[in-house]
Amino acid sequence: MIQDAGQLIEPPPVQFSPVTPGWYVSGALLVILLAVLAVLLIHRYLRNRYRRQALQQLETIAAGPQGLYEVNMLMKRIAMRNYGRDAVAALRGDEWVDFLNSVWKEAAFTPEEGKALSDELYRESSAAVPAAFLDKSKRWIKGHRR
């Protein structure tokens, strides 16, 4: 029976090239999506440049003779940059700590640290910055909301 059927005719080979309009549209959408993603990542990187610079400064000033005062001033400059001078400049002590905690999801600064920061304004020099405060300051710089 198979011998009576004769020779089998094979269909032409299927082309695997994107010659249909759907592939062009899909490719164009993919290119646009990648371009938008690249622009967003670059924008985010540039927007957070101040954080990277502040973290570098933090390492330098923490070891200085007025480390606690300088760390406080660095955080105040960052806050004024992001939230405005009017909202930040007059804050001291508990108000300053409350503000730092309000713009940070961890809210880890304590009132005692606020008092220590206020007292630093009236001292000539201070001891080294406590490691716990330095760690909180780094985390605040990295994680505060804009």
pLDDT tens figures, 92-101: 888 888 888 8
96, 90 Cβ separation under 8 angstroms: no
Between 130 and 38, residue with greater pLDDT: 38
Quick one: average pLDDT of 94-122?
A: 79
User: Is 74 in contact with 54 (CB distance < 8 Å)?
Assistant: yes
Residue 25 lies in a domain: yes
Residue 68 shares a structural domain with residue 138: yes
Query: Is 37 in the same domain as 86?
Result: no
Looking at the domain assignment, is residue 42 inside a domain?
Answer: yes
Range of the domain at 87: 50-143
Summary mean pLDDT of the chain: 84
In a domain, 76, yes or no: yes
Same domain as 56, residue 37: no
Distance of CA 42 to the CA centre of its chain: 12
The pLDDT of residue 120: 67
- 136 class by beta-carbon count within 10 Å (0-12 exposed, 13-18 middle, 19+ buried): buried
Residues 65 and 134 in one domain: yes
Q: Is 2 part of any domain? A: no
**Statement: the pTM of the whole predicted model exceeds 0.85:** no
| Residue 3 lies inside a defined structural domain of this protein | no
Contact indicator for 99, 50 with CB cutoff of 8 Å: no
Closest CA to 71 of 109, 38, 29: 109
**What pLDDT sits at residue 72?**
86
pLDDT-based confidence at residue 116 (cuts at 50, 70, 90): confident
Q: Measured between alpha carbons, how far is 5 from 79 in angstroms, rounded to an integer?
A: 86
- Indicate if 81 and 120 belong to the same structural domain: yes
Is residue 140 within 8 A of residue 104, CB to CB? The reply is yes
Could you tell me if 106 and 81 lie in one domain?
yes
Q: Are residues 35 and 56 in the same domain?
A: no
What does the chain come to in residues? Answer: 146
